[in-house]
Chains A and B, each alone.
Chain A
């Protein structure tokens, strides 16, 4: 019971935090993705025609939604937990009888909530450009949930290991964003030369984007079961690693 109260407290605090600063957390993805839909989907997309039998706008909408989920679930946890470390209010949690897994679950849930909320905002924006008809709602929800969980976990680990504000921007700028753009958000890997198709298959984001795209429009470049397996596997590995870091007190205890 007390563990559940502690968990709810962390989640409520996280929710309150990113809702309070909505001009920084919810508004920018709405504007950015509206521009993506307008420029890539409408202006350029009309000249591209169709991919796998669907219009270019319909093709990129799932990818852009999931890219927003990835970016914001990661950003929420990395910035929130690092700030908590930086301001030392992590000590509020460390002195209290809150198990490490509750700390982890609380922050990850905060990241998932923001990722999902941003995903919903982007989906609503997309409705101004194209009707969004989801073919498999359960699968879409599962992919969004698992993807947000995975990237929230990655953000948490980044925050634990970060020693400065620079460290929390390196991975989003130099790894996450390139992998997202190269993860088939704006194109099908079939359009790439053979060698780049093989290289792209090493990008985990490609699998998640395609799984989500499959759930929305029924089109995918990869095996969906492999996408779920890969995402689930990464979640397990990162969860164990994050708990081990918390147990050791890495970055939060001396």
Chain B
């Protein structure tokens, strides 16, 4: 069963801006799905329509088979949303924010109190339950929103840049939590600008650009389409335009090279050539993560086709 089915979805804002130009998307139940796109590509509009915050111009959206227009309450009860921006009452306590949300979903108070405790403990905020939310750090506020979105145990959880502005330690703990939630059966749709996050967490992916889905496949097969991996080499001595046959070489500085390694070649061969040229490599790192490279390639290719 599909957790989410989007069919021919259009959105044109009143100022004439076409945010979505007929997108189709399917997310399977239990999936951990990445929805990626540059700023302004249409991700937030799509999420807004899925979560009933934005009115679609045309097209259909179904959550676990329920049409968000025709069976709105049933569709909504399956969905939990962690929005991009902080959108709770900053004067309320973390506990009240989560508890009230449970009430909006019709959860009886006694059960709502239990679930609030469970969710706040899950995001490690139970100790801060009575603190006014405006006094919480940015990372804590994001975790309050995650707890709030999970309090009614949604079958589909949409996380719109949940780790933006969160330090790496908390981000990693949030990844673990998201993995655990997904493992327990909740379908997750994640949008993020940290592509390593999407690469390490998500099994399937869609890339949206300029209001259209330009890629929709599983992560593994998408990454195999990356033909070249780029590495940055720190050298022990200065070199000038070394020739490495079969590799793209770009001189960054006199002691730093950027080398593109095609998929059909390997690093052993590269190091053989470097040793033969008497070039000593001190350290090596990926120029960018693989998905990031692929993302840039896809956007660039699409832009080139349009020119």
Contacts and interface: CB of A to CB of B under 8 A. Distances in A.
Contacts of A198: none
Contacts of A89: 87-89
B106 A249 contact: no
A91 B87 contact: yes
Interface string A10-23: 10110010001000
A5 B105 CA distance: 8
B89 A95 contact: no
Contacts of B79: 95
B53 A94 contact: yes
Contacts of B104: 6, 9-10, 92-93, 96-98
Nearest to A5: B106
Contacts of B103: 5-6, 8-9, 12
Interface size class of A (residues with CB under 8 A): 20 to 34
A54 interface: no
A173 interface: no
A97 B105 contact: yes
Contacts of B91: 20
Nearest to A9: B103
Interface stretch (B69-77, B162-170, B291-299): B69-77
Contacts of A98: 104
A137 to B, nearest CB: 33
A95 B52 contact: yes
A24 interface: no
B100 A92 contact: yes
A92 B88 contact: yes
A3 interface: yes
A164 interface: no
B272 interface: no
B48 A87 contact: no
Interface in B75-124: 76-77, 79, 81, 83, 85, 87-91, 96, 100-101, 103-109
A91 B83 contact: yes
Contacts of B85: 88
A96 B101 contact: yes
A89 B88 CA distance: 5
Interface residues of B, number: 32
A24 to B, nearest CB: 12
A2 B105 contact: yes
A87 B90 contact: yes
B88 A254 contact: no
A199 interface: no
Given A89-B88, A253-B54, A95 B76 contact: yes
Contacts of B148: 92
A10 B148 CA distance: 16
A3 B106 CA distance: 6
B86 to A, nearest CB: 8
Contacts of B74: 97
A175 interface: no
A97 B101 contact: no
A254 B107 CA distance: 29
Contact of B53 (A6, A9, A253): A253
B106 A1 contact: yes
Contacts of B73: 97, 99
Contact of B106 (A2, A83, A94): A2
B29 interface: no
Interface of A: 1-3, 5-6, 8-10, 12-13, 16, 20, 83-84, 87-89, 91-99, 249, 253-254
Given A3-B106, A91-B83, A92-B100, 7 more contacts: A16-B96, A91-B87, A92-B148, A94-B53, A96-B104, A97-B77, A97-B105
25 contacts: A2-B107, A5-B103, A5-B108, A6-B104, A6-B105, A6-B106, A9-B103, A13-B100, A20-B91, A87-B87, A87-B90, A91-B81, A91-B87, A92-B100, A94-B51, A95-B76, A95-B79, A97-B72, A97-B77, A97-B104, A97-B106, A98-B104, A253-B53, A254-B54, A254-B55
Interface of B: 13, 48, 51-55, 72-74, 76-77, 79, 81, 83, 85, 87-91, 96, 100-101, 103-109, 148
